[in-house]
Amino acid sequence: MAIPTPLPLHGKHIVLGLSGGVACYKAADFARELVKAGATVQVVMTEAATQFITSVTMQALSNRPVYTSQWDAREPNHMPHINLTREADAIVVAPASADFIAQLAQGRAGELLALLCLARPIERCPLLVAPAMNREMWSHPATQRNVAQIRADGATVLGPAAGDQACGETGDGRMLEADELRDELVAFFQPKLLAGRSVLVTAGPTFEAIDPVRGITNHSSGKMGFAIARAAAEAGARVTLVAGPVHLPTPRGVRRIDVQSAAQMLAAVLPEAPLHGIFVATAAVADWRPANATDAKIKKDGSGRVPALALTENADILATVARLPAGQRPWCVGFAAESHDLARHARDKLQRKGVPLVVGNLGPATFGRDDNTLLLVDANGERELPTGDKLSLARLLVAEIAARSP
């Protein structure tokens, strides 16, 4: 039976606030992303925001009337600053201009958006702010004081990013993109089961060079490992991801180390392992490598003879980490990607590696796919996590790790 994949923001009601700035064009995409993710969206705009994008556009994208004035007569009690936040799961201000952040820091409420931020039930309606401004405005001491103040008051600051700006300059101050903001909001609502903890993850295949153009590798896409890294970061962990040769974006908030070969992966993992409390060895590491890689491409000579290829065994990264001395050894989770007899091979791996948990899956059935089926194997038995998308499974696995690990 497959795990249903709910929309990540299903049932969430978001008040989306727009203050003045050219990044309002991104807010249109963000509103659309929120709706596609299952949220209901109530847009509130400052007067300055209406100079950059119309309320008609935001109403069409949110499917709700847009509010721009605290004197809006549509509310029977003439109190939109009260009514709009009482059912909200969060207020997200994107873009948040330097002036608007200053209003929040000072507790000023000159128009509806600032007023409702001040009047929200602070204990159950969080405030998230996505700054958007010129790089000089962002770095100005006054702005940095104001940002520090709203953080101290409980707001969550999303970004900003660095890059090209509408003024023609380049630097910090760009608002995050719509999909980045959506993912940040999804992550915000995830239970912080690993808050204050650290997780080291390996992901993807390794590539063992035969010559400069050929090598030994496998079909692992890295998707499961990257999903675990993202889920661990969502759960509040400090995450380091050691990735083999894959073409996947780094999950936000995750530190990434890129490697090619098994030897490089081991060299990256060993100094990191004692610095992390949990190690999840998701990578499909090659068991063997050529004993002697050549510096030049091996050419056919027309004789029909196949050149001999001597192999040597790679070090076992998981077993090496699991044998580190107490105090340096993280709590280890192994992955077993098998072609058959999954439960038997996963249990054998559990015993050989000396780890508390092995997660098994059928490699040929999952490599490159967006879904998976996981079998949890420990000293007490086996339990299957039903087929689902890899991120949903990663969140379930992170919950298991949080409950099991010391």
**pLDDT (tens digit per residue) in 2-40:** 445 678 999 999 999 999 999 999 999 999 999 999 999
At 151, is the secondary structure helix, strand, or coil? helix
Q: Name residues of the chain where pLDDT drops below 50.
A: 1-3
Residue 139 confidence (pLDDT): 95
**Cβ atoms of residues 29 and 41 within 8 Å:** no
Residue 329 confidence (pLDDT): 94
How wide is the angle at C-alpha 187 spanned by C-alphas 156 and 387, nearest 5°?
175
Residue 60 confidence (pLDDT): 96
DSSP-derived secondary structure for 349-395: HHHHHT-SEEEEEEHHHHTT-SEEEEEEEETTEEEEEEEEEHHHHHH
Query: b/e per residue, 223-258, with b = 16+ CB within 10 A?
Result: bbbbbbbbbbbbbbbbbbbbbbbbebeebebbebbe
Question: First CA to last CA across the chain, in angstroms?
Answer: 31
**Cβ atoms of residues 127 and 101 within 8 Å:** no
CATH topology classification for 198-289+309-404: Rossmann fold (3.40.50)
Q: Residue 100: which of 117, 85, 76 has the closest Cα? A: 117
CA distance 206 to 289: 10
> 303: which DSSP letter?
S
CA distance 337 to 369: 14
Which residues face 91 on adjacent strands?
Answer: 15, 127
CA distance 40 to 79: 21
CA distance 126 to 124: 6
Please identify which residue in the block is written with the tokens 């190690």.
279
Q: Please state whether 263 falls in left (phi above 0), alpha (psi between -120 and 50) or beta.
A: alpha
CA distance 406 to 392: 23
Give the pair of three-digit tokens for residue 269: 């993992």
Residue 345 confidence (pLDDT): 77
Using N-to-C axis directions, what is the helix angle for 178-189 and 223-234, rounded to 10°? 60
E strand or H helix at 216 = strand 215-216
Using N-to-C axis directions, what is the helix angle for 141-152 and 98-106, rounded to 10°? 50
Mind listing the pLDDT tens digit for each residue in 246-271? 999 999 999 999 999 999 999 999 99
Q: Residue 236: which of 282, 186, 191, 182 has the closest Cα? A: 191
Instruction: Report domain extents, the chain.
Output: 13-189, 198-289+309-404
> 205: which DSSP letter?
B
Residue 16 confidence (pLDDT): 98
> 8: which DSSP letter?
T
Q: 13-189 maps to which CATH number?
A: 3.40.50.1950
Q: How many CA atoms lie within 13 A of 272 on its CB side?
A: 25
Contacts of 130 (CB under 8 A, 6+ apart): 92, 93, 94, 95, 96, 157, 158, 159, 160, 175, 176, 181
Residue 61 confidence (pLDDT): 96
CA distance 229 to 284: 15
Catalytic residues: 167
Residue 1 confidence (pLDDT): 45
pTM value > 0.85: yes
CA distance 44 to 75: 14
